Amino acid sequence: MTTNKHFNTYKEGLDLEFLREYCMEHGELRTFLRSETLEEIIE
């Protein structure tokens, strides 16, 4: 099996620090039961 060294290289140029900071400030901690999905929680 060969690997592609260019796979997802676009991520190296992204600065997502602002998004991380926003999530840390405004996010919520969620826990799920085994086999429970986010889709089931929203409904």
Contact 38, 32 (CB under 8 A): yes
Site of tokens 């085994």: 34
Query: Does residue 22 register a pLDDT over 90?
Result: yes
How large is the average pLDDT for residues 4-30? 87
How large is the average pLDDT for residues 25-29? 89
Query: Does residue 21 register a pLDDT over 90?
Result: yes
Per-residue pLDDT, 34: 83
DSSP string computed for the chain: ----TTTTGGGGG---HHHHHHHHHH-------TT--HHHHH-
Contact 31, 41 (CB under 8 A): no
Domain parsing of the chain, residue ranges? 15-42
Give the CA distances from residue 14 to residues 2, 5, 8, 28, 41, in Å, rounded to whole numbers and listed in that order.
26, 18, 11, 24, 31
